[in-house]
Amino acid sequence: MDNKQAQYLHQVLDKAIESKVLSPQDVEALREHLPELPKQKTLTEITHDVYRAWYETLSNHWKESKLGDLETWLNDLHEQLQGLKDTSAVFPALPAGMRIADHEHFGRVVVSPGVGVDKCHEIFYLEPGMKFATGISEVEPDSLTFLSPKPAHPEFLETEADYRDAPEGTIVASSGRFPCIKGAANEWACSGITNNNFGMSKIGRRNVIRWGWGK
C-alpha cells in the first residue's frame, strides 16, 4: 500500500468516525483492506469446542501448547456467544421444529418438522402466481439444503403440552413400561393400547427415543 492510498483510507475512517455518509467507493476500499469477517459458530460447534477443551485439559491444567492462551480462548468464546445472542435478537426464531432450506426448484423454503409416512418433508414456498402467493409441496429430504442445524429435541416428555407438541412418529419409553409411538390425531400407541396426550401426561415422564420419524 503506497502513501497516497494510506492517506485516502485514513480520510475514509475519519469520515466514518464523524458519522458522515460513505460513498460506495469508500466502502469498497475499506472492505478490500479489512480482514475476513470471522465465522459465527453455531451453538453445536461452540459446545463441541468446550467439550474438546475439557477433554484436552488434564487435572485442571490448561494445555496452552494445544489450546492457546486461556484468556484469549475465553474472550473468543464470549464473542461467539454474544454473536449468537445478537443474531437471535435480530432474526426471530421459527416455530419449534421448523427450519429454513434451499430447494433447486422452489428456492428458499420453510420446512415442517419431521417427515410423513412416505419419508418426505412438507415445505412452504413463495409462489407469486398463486392466490395467496404461497404454496405447499412435499419433497425428498435429499433435495433440501438446510441453512441451520437440525434442532435438538427434548430428552423427555412429561406434560400434556410436551406430548401434544411432539411430531408424529415420535417414540418414547421408560424403565418398566412399553415403548409408545405417536400416530395420527394425537394418539399414542403403547403395545396395542392407545392413549391421548392427557393420558400420557398422567402416566408421567418418558425418555425420547426417536423424535418424529427420524431417518
Q: How far apart are the first and last CA of the chain?
A: 54
Residue 203, domain member (yes or no): yes
Domain span including residue 85: 43-90
In this structure, the answer to whether residues 112 and 136 fall within a common structural domain is yes
pLDDT along the chain (215 residues), means of 10: 81 82 81 77 84 79 83 88 71 72 90 79 82 82 83 81 89 84 89 87 86 76
Residue 18, domain member (yes or no): no
Closest by Cα among 14, 9, 10, 6 to 25: 9
Contacts of 82 by beta carbon, 8 Å cutoff, 6+ apart: none
What pLDDT does residue 139 have? Answer: 92
In this structure, the answer to whether residues 104 and 131 fall within a common structural domain is yes
Residue 38, domain member (yes or no): no
Residue 167, domain member (yes or no): yes
Question: Number of folded domains in the chain?
Answer: 3
Residue 69, domain member (yes or no): yes
What pLDDT does residue 188 have? Answer: 92
User: What pTM was computed for the model?
Assistant: 0.35
Q: Which residue has the cell 475465553?
A: 74
Instruction: Tell me how far CA of residue 208 lies from CA of 24, 72, 163, in angstroms.
Output: 53, 38, 10
What is the grid cell recorded at 43?
451453538
Q: d(Cα 35, Cα 77) in Å, to the nearest integer?
A: 19
Contact 123, 111 (CB under 8 A): yes
Residue 107, domain member (yes or no): yes
Q: d(Cα 145, Cα 83) in Å, to the nearest integer?
A: 23
The 3-state DSSP class for residue 96 equals coil
What pLDDT does residue 215 have? Answer: 55
